[in-house]
Amino acid sequence: MIEYHSPEGVRRTPAMPYDLSLNLGASSAATLALLANGFPDSVNFLDAVENALLSRCPRLVIKRFDKGNASITAPAELVAEMVNGCDGLIAAYGH
């Protein structure tokens, strides 16, 4: 007989639902940040994401950001600019 072991373990606390959202319907006007993290092709990947989003959400405003260095956290000034100027964020990496 074969027995399977799940490496997930048992949760000590229940999962909490993530209830933040941003309506990107065709009639919605929103500003979305796209953050490249500095890995190769992260900018190229976000080019494709931007094109796909704008084809479906023509009123969407896109602001592009690039962390520039994958080995560091986003600088506080960059985070503040995204928080203060955008309704949502998509962060991406590439390889």
- Taking only the tens place, the pLDDT of each residue in 34-92 is 999 988 889 999 999 999 999 988 889 999 999 989 888 899 999 999 999 999 999 98
Question: Which range scores top for mean pLDDT: 6-20, 25-39, 80-94?
Answer: 80-94
> CA 62, 49, 28 angle in degrees (round to 5)?
45
Tell me, yes or no, if the pTM score tops 0.85: no
Instruction: Answer yes or no: are the C-beta atoms of 30 and 24 closer than 8 Å.
Output: yes
Helix (H/G/I), strand (E/B), else coil: 32: strand
* Look-up of token digits 């560091």: 72
Query: Mean pLDDT across the stretch 12-21?
Result: 83
Cα-trace Rg, the chain? 18
DSSP state of 82: H
C-alpha to C-alpha distance for 79 and 62, rounded to whole angstroms: 16
